[in-house]
Amino acid sequence: MKPKVVIYKKIPQEVLSYIKQYCRVSYYEHLESWSNPEFLNDLKDAHGMLGSGMSINKKLLDRAPQLKIVCNASVGYNNFDMDELTLRGIMATNTPDVLTDTTADTIFGLLLSAARRICEMDRYVKDGKWNRLIGEDLFGIDVHHKVLGIIGMGRIGTAIAKRANLGFDMEILYHNRSRNENAEKLYGAKKTELDDLLSKSDFVCLMTPLTEETKNLISYREFEIMKKNAIFINGSRGETVNEKALVKALTTRQIAGAGLDVYKEEPINPNHPLLKLNNTVTLPHMGSATAETRTKMAFLAAENMVRGLSGETPPSLINTTLLSAR
């Protein structure tokens, strides 16, 4: 009998058809809560799960005793209790690489929008306020030949460095646990301590994964170190930033502006003070949101699922320590 999988995220029909060739599928296109009785019943004999965002923790895993693999259709996997999954011998996978360039495009676009006040000026024109040459109060900030500091020089951080250095002649500083020799060689990136990066950068781009060490990595002290004309970009996870500290830095003009694609609470509360600030560009966590990329992500998640359940090594296995136990 084919293994049973539970899909709790809308995926393209062609991806769903691919999975059905190899698995029995319980498909929840719009699952509002994992406490849904039908969903919980399906977990009892599920061998695999595919989706994103849902917290895969001990409480849920206790309801899925036959589970062999969980597949995130995203690059991030902070929703996984990795210790618990590995302890139970359950494979965990994600979808890196396929979204690198698309996300880098979004983040650099966010940087440009914040620097040149593009969203604000769009509203200015559409609201009928453009009736004369704009004055200095509406001027933006140059991006070219400036210093970009990237915190977290992984795949996406490197792709951002490429766009910044080769496209805009920007000097690249980066802070990372290990050296990124490729970024150093190709884009002249310089590895620095965090405080040096913060004090020297005209743009600070946060791209680190969310871990216990990176929670509130950027807070009151870090914003105080930044230049007064610096622009802060967050394309990582909302919890890597103390949002109260960010609001203070923006409202007091401790920094010049911000561009955000992620928030501590998502969707963000409509009354959140960040949404009231003209010097902040806010996006709805859309870094990888193109049809082409989301389809590639879904196919990679599906391939991880199918190969994992067939006894092969999934292409994007996270807890690789399980390989030695096979």
Tens digit of each residue's pLDDT (9 = 90 or more) over 268-311? 999 999 999 999 999 999 999 999 999 999 999 999 999 999 99
Q: Is pLDDT of 72 > 80?
A: yes
Domain 4-95+291-325 of CATH type 3.40.640.10? no
Give the separation between CA 233 and CA 257, rounded to whole angstroms. Answer: 9
Span 97-107, pLDDT tens digits:
999 999 999 99
Helix (H, G, I), strand (E, B) or coil at 191: strand
**Exposed (0-12), middle (13-18) or buried (19+): which is 97, by Cβ within 10 Å?**
middle
Q: Distance between CA atoms of 157 and 32, rounded to whole angstroms?
A: 33
> Which residue type occupies 39?
F
130-139 confidence digits (pLDDT tens): 999 999 999 9
Asked, as a colleague might, if the bond just before 267 is cis with ω within 30 of 0, I would say: yes
CB-count burial class (<10 Å; 0-12, 13-18, 19+) for 44: exposed
Rounded-to-integer distance, Cα 296 and Cα 95, Å: 9
Put simply, whether the predicted model's pTM sits higher than 0.85 gets the answer yes
Q: Give the CA count within 13 Å in the CB-facing half-sphere of 134.
A: 14
Question: What are the residue boundaries of the structural domains of the chain, listed by start?
Answer: 4-95+291-325, 100-282
Query: Element (H or E) spanning 143, and its range?
Result: none
Q: Are 229 and 141 in contact (CB under 8 A)?
A: yes
The backbone torsions φ and ψ at residue 223, rounded to the nearest 5 degrees and listed phi first, read: -65, -30
- Which of the following CATH numbers is that of domain 100-282: 3.40.50.2030, 3.40.50.300, 2.60.200.20, 3.40.50.720? 3.40.50.720
Tens digits of per-residue pLDDT, 181-195? 999 999 999 999 999
User: Amino acid identity of 263?
Assistant: Y
List Cβ neighbours of 114 (8 Å cut-off, separation of 6 or more).
Answer: 231, 233, 257, 258, 259, 279, 280, 281
Write the DSSP assignment of 250-313 as a string of letters.
HHTTSSSEEEES--SSSSPPTT-GGGG-TTEEE--S-TT-SHHHHHHHHHHHHHHHHHHHTTSP
Using one digit for the tens of pLDDT, what is the confidence trace for 18-53?
999 999 999 999 887 778 999 999 999 999 999 998
Our CA angle for 240, 244, 246, nearest 5°, is 65
- Backbone phi, psi, residue 208, to 5°: -80, 150
Kindly state the tokens that stand for 251.
């409202």
Q: Which pLDDT tens digit goes with each residue over 206-229? A: 999 999 999 999 999 999 999 999
Is the pLDDT reported for residue 325 higher than 70?
Answer: no
Give the closest residue to 155 by CA, choosing from 128, 182, 116: 182
Does residue 170 carry a pLDDT above 70? yes
State pLDDT tens for residues 113-123: 999 999 999 99
pLDDT for res 326:
60
Euclidean distance between CA atoms 316 and 312, whole angstroms: 12
| Alpha-carbon gap, residue 268 to 241, rounded angstroms | 14
In whole angstroms, what is the distance from residue 114 CA to residue 171 CA? 19
Q: How much of the chain exceeds pLDDT 70, in percent?
A: 99
Q: Which H or E run contains 99?
A: none
Dihedral over Cα of 309, 322, 46, 304: its sign:
negative
How many whole angstroms separate alpha carbon 232 and alpha carbon 202?
9
The answer on pLDDT for 237 being more than 80 is: yes
The residues that are catalytic are 237, 266, 285
Stretch 160-170: mean pLDDT: 98
